[in-house]
Chains A and B, each alone.
Chain A
Amino acid sequence: MDRDKLVAVKDLSVTYQTRIGPVSAVDHVSFDIYKGEILGLVGESGCGKSTLGKALLRMIDPPGEISNGEIVFEDKDIMQYDDKQMRDFRGRKASMIFQDPMTSLNPVQRVDQHLIETIQVHEKDVDNASALERAGEMIRKLGIGEDRMISYPHQLSGGMRQRVMTGIGLILSANLIIADEATTSLDVIVEAKLADQLRDIRDEFDISLLMITHNIALVAEMADRIAVMYAGHMVEIGDIYDVFEEPLHPYTAGLLGSVPNIQFDASEELYKMPGEPPNLTRPPEGCRFHPRCPKAMPICSRIEPAMTEVEPKRFIHCWLYQDHPEKMLRKG
């Protein structure tokens, strides 16, 4: 594996068995996460970004399952792990921060108990005193007063809770933190503070951060690279400046065009993408975006494109950037 790569996801698919039939929530997605980078994962509601995040920790519950693919973390395919290995993996190698910190914390457990338990579950021979010390250190580092260690979740403010959640995620020095809409429930000021904190943590510990959010502005500010998902497919992934400067996938273009920009001329209209996300039990043939794509070609409705590396580390999932004999036919 590339010395820089932390995670290599190959051809990952997540399927849910529902009453109406199988729903492919994530369909043959491949991408990498590099060490020490902040990768922003964006897309509309229902595009599969949260599912993808959960899949990375193999936390897909029935009736869903990971139906295909490999997740290679530091040279090991965690799809092969058994339950015990997965439990060890979760929290220690990679961990997750959730959207709603109030419901993500156990209401009858104190802050210090949360942290100590996490430590002791993974490192069995750590005694209470040393665990407590480590917990205290983490709390301090996150800027929470030490007197808060004995508080219950309901006694803390939203921002503090989220920081506690972050602390739980970091306490075992995980290499990858997945933040699933971690700032969505916070107000802008707190959000900004948390974002800064996460960036500082990344700088200090050299961990990778996968930010799953629908807040593109936040991603623009924080991320090194951005990945865009649509209807279970990853349509574009690349360096943040490159993508923002020139979005290559029609969907990305549309997405970025619909974000209000303070520099916009007030007379210019916001771009509104026509149509709706597709029904994932019967997704469109070929490229899933083709019904709404202004640049669709005949081949788009028949064959699915592959992820093409148009530039180093810049991948697009679109026929516009890929050659195919059929493209030549019926042109014009």
Chain B
Amino acid sequence: MSDKKELVSESVPEWQLELDRVGFLRRILLARKWYKGDWWFVLISGIMLLFIITVGIFPQWFAPHDPREEVGPSLLAPGEETPSFIVLAGSDSDAIKFADIAGRKNKVGYIMGSQATQAMRDTLDRLNTQAEEEGIDIIYQPRGGRYETIDEGLEDLTNGKLDGFIASEEELNVAETDFSNFVRIDELRSSKADSFILGTNQIGQDILSRIIWGTRIALIVGLSSALVSFIVGVPLGLFSGFIGGPVDRILTLFMDSLYTFPGLILAISIAAVLGAGIGNIIVAIAVLYVPTYFRIVRGQTLTVKNELYVKAAHSLGARPLKILTKYIFPNVLPSVVIIFSVNVADAILTEAGLSFIGLGLPPDTPDWGIDLARGQDYLRRAWWLITFPGAMVSCVTLAFSMLGESLSEILNPRLSEL
């Protein structure tokens, strides 16, 4: 072993050996001066990706609500306050909160068609669930009294026919009754939060939570399909380039046809036949990128195969598998890493596209494409339905592509100076 090393040392100039010994970290810092802008791009996209992947792995840490749950009123604008409803009671009442007048013997009034009923129902659900958990044997289910006008209802509140009355601020403002007889004892909201940072969609789901959970799906689909493409395409490319001959020609013709075929259409066809479901989508998208890996890997294999040092090794009797793994594969690797990066970006876009068309995942999955499709009808009224999911897709795709782009500038020796 040792004399081999000496042999190497003699032929390799000393300065090169020393460079290898210089620390990895120092090389990265040296690289910054050299690669300038690209270095920063790689760094920024790397940080972005780290963050995105964290969000993808632990969406529950970041999302304030369950993405499928109806947590608020529908089509609430970002930051807009959820409507609250005021609970009035008679000034002589000793109730101090809504629960006090929500028993089975109570009667609570509201205006016909008011959203107050929804708020009441939600609050009652919450109270009941809580009571169940705590083991308290109370059922909150007051009788409801419907009124056409606010004044009628307030009249009944005054004369004791009602224990309480629920109405929104606007509804109360219309009243002509004097409010000095009443006391505001509580405020009800029909949702879990005061407001939602990014608003809610038409079903009342929190958009922020949806897009955060969407990250997980996007990453799963993107990375898995890229991985599958990689696993299928790279060995095929190596094999085909290495073997050559008619096998290579047929395989290349097939792959070229596949490559020129419009990707989305192919994915659409496969998805249409296999049906919805995350596994099928991954397969459909994976098929798309196999030709790309194949072509690049095959091309590189051909180039390296004809390099003199490989021929030398071959003439010295190295076995083909060894040549493949020791010489060809390491040379092919940098390009493949870059393709992988771009592949993931593309896969995420394709998945969003498929979901947008309706071919992707099951309908209620928190997926960006699905959200975009559903939001399309609300273009005029609720711009936030599509803006945020769309921005997320763009950001994540951007991070991956930026990484791939700048890595290719750095790693590709043809293009770098000196």
Contact = CB atoms under 8 A, between A and B. Distances in A.
Indicate yes or no for A touching B, C-beta below 8 A. Answer: yes
B418 A18 contact: yes
Nearest to A63: B417
A62 B417 contact: yes
Where chain B touches its partner, the secondary structure class is helix
A19 interface: yes
Interface in A277-295: 279, 281-282
B31 A19 contact: yes
Contact of B34 (A19, A62, A282): A19
Interface in B156-203: none
A63 B15 contact: no
B283 to A, nearest CB: 43
A20 B19 contact: yes
Contacts of A19: 30-31, 34, 418
Given A19-B30, A19-B31, A20-B19, A276 B417 contact: no
A16 interface: yes
Interface string A278-317: 0101100000000000000000000000000000000000
Contact of A281 (B15, B30, B31, B34): B15
Interface string A6-29: 000000000010111000000000
B15 A282 contact: yes
Q: Range of interface residues on chain B?
A: under 10
A63 B418 contact: yes
A20 B30 CA distance: 8
B14 interface: yes
A276 B30 contact: no
A128 B327 CA distance: 55
Interface in B371-418: 417-418
Contact of B14 (A16, A18, A20, A279): A279
B241 to A, nearest CB: 26
Nearest to A276: B13
Contacts of A282: 15
Interface in B247-294: none
Contacts of A63: 417-418
Contacts of B31: 19
Nearest to B19: A20
A62 B14 CA distance: 26
Contacts of B418: 16, 18-19, 63
B413 to A, nearest CB: 12
A282 B18 CA distance: 12
Contacts of B417: 62-63
A279 B30 CA distance: 19
A62 to B, nearest CB: 7
A260 B15 CA distance: 33
Contacts of B30: 19
A326 B19 CA distance: 35
A18 B30 CA distance: 10
B54 to A, nearest CB: 33
A16 B34 CA distance: 12
Nearest to A277: B13
Interface in B2-48: 13-15, 19, 30-31, 34
A62 B416 CA distance: 11
B370 to A, nearest CB: 47
A271 B418 CA distance: 33
B416 to A, nearest CB: 9
A112 B127 CA distance: 93
A281 B30 CA distance: 15
Given A16-B418, A62-B417, A279 B34 contact: no
Nearest to A19: B34
Nearest to A282: B15
A279 B18 CA distance: 12
Contact of B13 (A18, A62, A279): A279
Most chain A Cβ neighbours within 10 Å, of B19, B30, B418: B418
Contacts of B15: 20, 279, 281-282
A19 B19 CA distance: 11
Contacts of A281: 15
Contacts of A276: 13
Nearest to B416: A19
A62 B418 CA distance: 9
B30 to A, nearest CB: 6
Nearest to B31: A19
B104 to A, nearest CB: 81
A188 B31 CA distance: 45
B14 to A, nearest CB: 7
Interface string A254-282: 00000000000000000000001001011
Contacts of A20: 15, 19
A276 B31 CA distance: 28
Nearest to A18: B418
Nearest to B35: A19
A281 to B, nearest CB: 7
A16 B19 CA distance: 18
Nearest to A62: B417
A279 B15 CA distance: 7
A276 B14 CA distance: 11
A282 B417 CA distance: 20
Nearest to B418: A18
Contacts of B14: 279
A63 B30 CA distance: 15
B357 to A, nearest CB: 44
Contacts of B13: 276, 279
17 contacts: A16-B418, A18-B418, A19-B30, A19-B31, A19-B34, A19-B418, A20-B15, A20-B19, A62-B417, A63-B417, A63-B418, A276-B13, A279-B13, A279-B14, A279-B15, A281-B15, A282-B15
Given A16-B418, A276-B13, A279-B13, 12 more contacts: A19-B30, A19-B31, A19-B34, A19-B418, A20-B15, A20-B19, A63-B417, A63-B418, A279-B14, A279-B15, A281-B15, A282-B15
Interface of B: 13-15, 19, 30-31, 34, 417-418
Q: Which 8 A-B pairs have the closest CB atoms?
A: A279-B15, A19-B34, A18-B418, A63-B417, A279-B13, A63-B418, A19-B30, A282-B15
